[in-house]
C-alpha cells in the first residue's frame, strides 16, 4: 500500500532541497549583513498565544490539538506571537533595539492553492524598540536587499506602501465609526481579491450608509500621497502623511526608492498593525504578495509586556520560488551542491587506493566521493558527472609515483598533479 504525503505538505528531494537551501541561505546572509540576530522558537505553542492576538476565529486556520495532559496546543502558523512571547520573557535583559530574524517552518490549515500551501518556510525580520520611521525603512531596505541579491530588479517587483494610521484617520473623518475600523480593514484588505459586486456587498454589511460607502470607495481609488494630503484635515492624518513622506525620502537615500510607491489599498488585514504597512508584489501583478509587514506598536502589551514600538516583515518561500522560476533565476546546475572531487581508478586493484585518497581529502576539508564497487573507468566518470563533481581524480599505475590525473569535469581538460597540488586547488 502506497501512502502519499499529506495534502498541502511538502517532500524535498535533493533538487528541491537545493532550491530551499539557496533561498534560505540568502535570507540568512542578508539578515546578518543588515545587523539582524537569528532566533527560533518551538514548533508547538499554547493555542491561547494565537487566539489572544487574532481572536477565536484563528482556530479554524491552524492545526490544533489537545495533548495527553489536556493542554490545548497549536502548530505555529506564524512567528510574530512567538517573538512577542520570547521578548516579553526577557525584556529587562535584552539590549535595545531588539533586531532579530528567523526562518521557521510554519503550518496553516488552509486550502492548498498556487503559492499557498499548508506547510511553508517564512523569513521574518523585526525591529523592536525604535519608534522612528527609520526602522520601517530598515525593514523595507533589508527585504529589497534580499530580492536584489537573488536577481530581481525594479522591473520585476514593487513595494506598495501605506499607513494604517492614515487610513484610520481618513475613514473616521468620512464617518466610519471607530469601533468598526478593524472589520472594515479586513474587508478592504480583500478588495483586490474579490469581484466588485461581492466586495460592495460585504462592505455594505459593515457600512449601511450609502453616502459613507461611496466616500470610502473614492478614498480607496486615490493613487498618490499628494491627493490624500489635499483631503487630510485631522492632526493625526497630517502626521501620518508626514511620516510617509519621510519614509520615502529615506528609502530614496538608501538607494531603493525606485522599487517603492504609495498605495492606499495596502491595508494588511490583521488587527495588530498600527502604522506603516507594506506588501511586495511582482510587477505584473500575477501572483499573491511575495512579502508583507508593517508596524505593530501594541503587540507586546497584548502579552502583558511593555508598550514598545515594533515593526517587521514576513516572506514565505512558496510565492517567491514561483516568481524566481518565472524569471529564470533558479539555475539548478549553479545552486546544487556537488562534490569537489570524485576519485576514480583505472583497474579494480586500485579501488582501496581510491578509498584512502577520498578519505584523505575529506580530512583535509574537501568534499570527495568514489564508486562503491569496482567498475570500468567510463562508468565511474559517468557517475562523477551525474553527481555534479567539479573534478575527477584518476589513479593510474602508468602515472608517475606520487601523482594522479586531475580531470576538470566542465571542460574535459586533464593533467598530472601531485597530492600537495590537489590541496592547492581552489575550493
Asked if residue 97 has a cis previous peptide bond (ω within 30° of 0), the answer is yes
Provide mean pLDDT across the span 165-169. Answer: 90
- Of how many residues is the chain composed? 427
Contact 83, 102 (CB under 8 A): yes
Provide mean pLDDT across the span 261-269. Answer: 88
Q: Supply the pLDDT for residue 197.
A: 78
Closest by CA position to 276, among listed 85, 130, 58, 106: 130
Residue that wins the pLDDT comparison between 230 and 90 = 90
Give residue 81's pLDDT band: very low, low, confident or very high (50, 70, 90): very high
For 116-125, 338-347, 415-424, which range has the lowest pLDDT when averaged over its residues? 415-424
Contact 421, 366 (CB under 8 A): no
Q: For the segment 214-261, what is each residue's pLDDT rounded down to a tens digit?
A: 888 888 888 899 998 888 888 988 999 999 999 999 999 999 999 999
d(CA 271, CA 279): 16
Closest by CA position to 45, among listed 29, 18, 65: 65
d(CA 370, CA 308): 57
Task: Find cell 573507468 and name the residue.
Answer: 377
Query: How many Cβ atoms from other residues are within 10 Å of residue 309's Cβ?
Result: 19
Q: Supply the pLDDT for residue 115.
A: 84
Report helix, strand or coil for 332: helix
DSSP states along 202-260: HHHHH---HHHHHHHHHHHT---HHHHHHH--SHHHHHHHHHHHHHHHHHHHTT-GGGE
Task: Find cell 569496482 and name the residue.
Answer: 374
d(CA 240, CA 169): 9
In the predicted structure, residue 349 carries a pLDDT above the cut 80: yes
In the predicted structure, residue 426 carries a pLDDT above the cut 80: no
Q: For the segment 97-127, what is each residue's pLDDT rounded down to a tens digit?
A: 999 999 999 999 988 888 889 999 999 999 9
Q: What domains, with CATH codes, occur in the chain? A: 14-332 (3.30.930.10), 338-423 (3.40.50.800)
Closest by CA position to 259, among listed 390, 185, 159: 159
| Cα atoms in the 13 Å half-sphere on the side-chain side of 72 | 8
d(CA 129, CA 99): 9
Beta partners for residue 310, in sequence order: 128
d(CA 353, CA 311): 59
Query: How many Cβ atoms from other residues are within 10 Å of residue 306's Cβ?
Result: 12
Q: Supply the pLDDT for residue 427.
A: 61
d(CA 72, CA 239): 43
d(CA 30, CA 36): 9
Report helix, strand or coil for 2: coil
Residues 6 or more apart whose CB falls under 8 angstroms from that of 307 comprise 297, 298, 300, 301
Give, in degrees to the nearest 5, the angle at Cα 107 between 103 and 110.
135
Rounded percentage of the chain residues whose pLDDT exceeds 90: 66
Q: For the segment 142-163, what is each residue's pLDDT rounded down to a tens digit?
A: 999 999 999 999 999 999 999 9
Q: Supply the pLDDT for residue 131.
A: 95
Report helix, strand or coil for 14: helix
Q: Which helix (H) or strand (E) holds 384?
A: helix 377-386
In the predicted structure, residue 203 carries a pLDDT above the cut 80: yes
pTM of the model: 0.90
Q: CA 379 → CA 185, 307, 407, distances in Å?
A: 64, 66, 15
Residues 6 or more apart whose CB falls under 8 angstroms from that of 392 comprise 341, 342, 343, 344, 380, 381, 384, 406, 407, 409
Report helix, strand or coil for 169: helix
Task: Find cell 490539538 and name the residue.
Answer: 65
Q: For the segment 271-321, what is each residue's pLDDT rounded down to a tens digit?
A: 778 999 999 999 999 999 999 999 999 888 888 888 899 999 999 999 999
- Strand locations in 328-408 (E): 341-345, 368-370, 391-395, 403-408
Give, in degrees to the nearest 5, the angle at Cα 47 between 43 and 49.
85
Closest by CA position to 422, among listed 153, 408, 410, 411: 408
Residue that wins the pLDDT comparison between 218 and 366 = 366
CA 60 to chain centre: 24
d(CA 6, CA 92): 43
Amino acid at each position: 500500500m502506497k501512502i502519499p504525503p499529506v495534502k498541502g505538505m511538502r517532500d524535498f528531494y535533493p533538487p528541491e532541497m537545493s532550491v530551499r537551501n539557496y533561498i534560505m541561505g540568502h535570507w540568512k546572509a542578508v539578515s546578518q549583513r543588515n545587523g539582524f540576530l537569528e532566533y527560533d522558537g518551538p514548533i508547538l505553542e499554547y493555542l491561547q498565544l494565537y487566539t489572544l492576538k487574532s481572536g477565536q476565529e484563528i482556530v479554524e486556520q491552524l492545526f490544533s490539538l489537545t495533548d495527553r495532559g489536556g493542554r490545548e496546543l497549536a502548530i505555529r502558523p506564524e512567528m510574530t506571537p512567538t517573538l512577542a512571547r520570547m521578548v516579553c520573557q526577557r525584556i529587562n535583559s535584552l539590549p535595545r533595539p531588539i533586531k532579530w530574524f528567523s526562518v521557521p517552518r510554519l503550518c496553516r490549515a488552509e486550502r492548498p492553492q498556487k503559492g499557498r500551501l499548508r506547510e511553508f518556510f517564512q523569513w521574518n525580520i523585526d525591529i523592536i524598540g525604535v519608534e522612528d520611521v527609520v526602522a520601517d525603512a530598515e525593514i523595507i531596505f533589508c527585504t529589497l536587499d534580499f530580492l536584489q541579491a537573488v536577481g530581481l530588479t525594479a522591473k520585476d517587483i514593487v513595494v506598495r506602501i501605506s499607513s494604517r494610521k492614515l487610513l484610520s484617520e481618513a475613514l473616521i473623518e468620512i464617518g466610519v465609526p471607530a469601533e468598526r475600523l478593524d472589520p472594515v480593514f479586513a474587508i478592504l484588505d480583500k478588495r483586490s481579491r474579490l469581484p466588485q459586486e461581492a466586495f460592495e456587498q460585504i462592505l455594505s454589511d459593515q457600512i449601511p450608509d450609502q453616502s459613507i460607502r461611496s466616500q470610502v470607495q473614492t478614498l480607496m481609488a486615490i493613487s498618490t500621497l499628494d491627493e490624500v494630503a489635499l483631503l487630510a484635515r485631522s492632526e493625526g492624518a497630517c502626521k501620518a502623511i508626514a511620516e510617509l513622506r519621510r519614509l520615502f525620502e529615506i528609502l530614496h537615500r538608501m538607494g531603493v526608492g525606485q522599487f517603492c510607491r504609495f498605495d492606499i489599498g495596502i491595508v494588511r488585514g490583521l488587527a495588530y498593525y498600527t502604522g506603516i504597512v507594506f506588501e511586495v508584489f511582482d510587477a505584473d501583478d500575477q501572483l499573491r504578495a511575495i512579502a508583507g509587514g508593517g508596524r505593530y506598536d501594541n503587540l507586546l502589551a497584548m502579552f502583558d509586556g511593555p508598550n514598545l514600538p515594533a515593526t517587521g516583515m514576513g516572506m514565505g518561500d512558496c510565492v517567491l520560488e514561483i516568481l524566481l522560476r518565472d524569471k529564470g533565476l533558479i539555475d539548478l546546475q549553479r545552486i546544487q551542491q556537488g562534490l569537489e572531487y570524485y576519485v576514480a581508478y583505472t583497474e579494480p586493484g586500485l579501488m582501496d587506493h581510491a578509498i584512502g585518497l577520498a578519505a584523505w581529502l575529506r580530512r583535509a576539508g574537501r568534499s570527495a566521493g568514489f564508486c562503491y564497487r569496482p567498475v570500468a573507468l567510463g562508468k565511474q566518470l559517468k557517475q562523477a558527472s551525474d553527481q555534479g563533481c567539479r573534478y575527477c581524480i584518476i589513479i593510474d599505475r602508468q602515472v608517475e609515483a606520487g601523482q594522479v590525473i586531475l580531470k576538470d569535469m566542465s571542460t574535459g581538460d586533464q593533467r598530472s598533479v601531485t597530492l600537495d597540488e590537489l590541496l592547492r586547488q581552489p575550493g
